[in-house]
Structure formats: structure tokens, C-alpha cells
């Protein structure tokens, strides 16, 4: 049986991994799409999609699995509302990925399009903000748990 604190820590680690990654993508990676050049862009975009899946797939799956498991096995000192809000933020991330970013990436496989690129960068702020909010909230949950651990001051 998985202990609630272990689930929370796994969720925290996977969330902060994604927070760091999404900020790098938002500030560095996506803006650089415009600098690739039209002749190389098709191959670049195809490689980007396949290689990015390898980097984001496993931690995203760990994050969603642990977020869902926390609904049933949350640490007793963590308020239920915080688990639901954190899951809600993650569902927004997943919906944004499926309905906004993935379609932009699919269109960009046909060649660079400045309007589609702009839409990708602008709509990615949804994921950036939600993942950052999740990171802060899940960290707060761990602080709540740690405050309940007995201290032995010398």
C-alpha cells in the first residue's frame, strides 16, 4: 500500500519537474521556433514533437496518477479542497495541451506559420500559470504535513 506522504512527495517532484520544464519551453524553446528557418522547420517540428514526448510523457503520467490517488489517499492534515484545486489545475493543463497546444503543433508540421506560432506561445501561458500554481499549492500541502511532524529540539 502506498503511503499518503509518499504520494504527495511523488506528486510534488513530478509537478516541479514540469514547472521548470514549462518555464523553459515558454521563455526559451517556443520563442526560438521563429528562428529555425523555413527550410529546416518541418524536420525540426517533427523532431520536437517526438523528442518532447520522451521528456514530458513519464513525469506527466506520474503527476496525473499521483494527483488522482491523492483523492483517496491524501495525508490527513492536508485539506481536501487543496487536493481538488490542484487536480483541477492539472486538468486545465491537460485540456489546454489537448485542445490548444497539440493542434498548433500539428499545424506547424506543415511548415512555419507566424500566426500559429504566436497562438502556441500565447496559449502556452495557460499551462505555465496553472503548473506554477500547482507547484506552489503542492508545496504548501507538504509544508502542512511537515508542520505536524513532532520536533525534538535539543
State the Cα–Cα distance between residues 141 and 127, nearest whole angstrom.
21
Domain assignment of residue 153, yes or no = no
What's the start-to-end Cα distance of the chain, in Å? 34
Among 130, 131, 100, residue whose Cα is nearest residue 118? 100
Sign (positive or negative) of CA dihedral 91, 93, 94, 95: positive
For residue 6, the surrounding DSSP H or E stretch is helix 4-24
Domain assignment of residue 154, yes or no = no
Contact 124/30 with Cβ under 8 angstroms? yes
Supply the pTM of this predicted model. 0.93
Q: Domain containing 12 — which CATH number?
A: 1.20.120
**In sequence order, what are the residues at sequence separation of 6 or more whose Cβ sits closer than 8 angstroms to the Cβ of residue 58?**
none
In tens, the pLDDT along 84-138 reads 999 999 999 999 999 999 999 999 999 999 999 999 999 999 999 999 999 999 9
CA angle 142, 143, 145 (to 5 degrees): 65
State the Cα–Cα distance between residues 14 and 64, nearest whole angstrom.
9
Residue numbers of the domain that contains 51: 4-146
Domain assignment of residue 115, yes or no = yes
Structural domains of the chain, count: 1
In tens, the pLDDT along 6-57 reads 999 999 999 999 999 999 999 999 999 999 988 899 899 999 999 999 999 9
Domain assignment of residue 94, yes or no = yes
Domain assignment of residue 151, yes or no = no
Domain assignment of residue 142, yes or no = yes
Domain assignment of residue 152, yes or no = no
What pLDDT score was predicted for residue 1?
Answer: 65
Amino acid at each position: 500500500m502506498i503511503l499518503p506522504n509518499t504520494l504527495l512527495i511523488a506528486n510534488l517532484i513530478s509537478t516541479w519537474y514540469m514547472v521548470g520544464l514549462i518555464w523553459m519551453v515558454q521563455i526559451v524553446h517556443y520563442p526560438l521556433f521563429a528562428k529555425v528557418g523555413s527550410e529546416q522547420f518541418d524536420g525540426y517540428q517533427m523532431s520536437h514533437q517526438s523528442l518532447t514526448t520522451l521528456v514530458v510523457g513519464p513525469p506527466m503520467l506520474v503527476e496525473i496518477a499521483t494527483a488522482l490517488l491523492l483523492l483517496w489517499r491524501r495525508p490527513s492534515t492536508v485539506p481536501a479542497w487543496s487536493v481538488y484545486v490542484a487536480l483541477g489545475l492539472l486538468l486545465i493543463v491537460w485540456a489546454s495541451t489537448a485542445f490548444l497546444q497539440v493542434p498548433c503543433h500539428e499545424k506547424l508540421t506543415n511548415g512555419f506559420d507566424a500566426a500559429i506560432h504566436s497562438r502556441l506561445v500565447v496559449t502556452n501561458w495557460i499551462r505555465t500559470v496553472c503548473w506554477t500554481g500547482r507547484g506552489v499549492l503542492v508545496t504548501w500541502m507538504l509544508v502542512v504535513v511537515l508542520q505536524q511532524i513532532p520536533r525534538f529540539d535539543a
